[in-house]
Amino acid sequence: MKNDVLDDDPNVCVYCRMETDRPQVDHVIPRSRGGNAMLDNAQTTCWWCNASKGARDFPVNPPPGYRGMWPPDWWGLFP
């Protein structure tokens, strides 16, 4: 599964949109909250955002070097 997810956009984090040299596969819905280990629940993240997210819906803190508002507009959290 990891290679299938990373093949789509292997070096760009879905949360911060920064390039990463250490991509990780994140569960959109964390497994601890009922998410599954299928491709439709997987996305590419940087290690920082994945660690910051934990079992939450979104990362709490932006990665070092991120510029801009956090959380970013593209998450669609604010009307």
pLDDT tens figures, 18-46: 999 989 999 999 999 999 988 899 999 99
Amino acid at site 49:
C
Per-residue pLDDT at 10: 75
For 42, the token pair is 């997987």
Mean residue pLDDT across the chain:
89
For 49, the token pair is 């955002």
Contact 24/47 with Cβ under 8 angstroms? yes
d(CA 33, CA 25): 17
pLDDT at 5 over 90: no
Q: What is the largest CA-CA distance in the chain?
A: 35
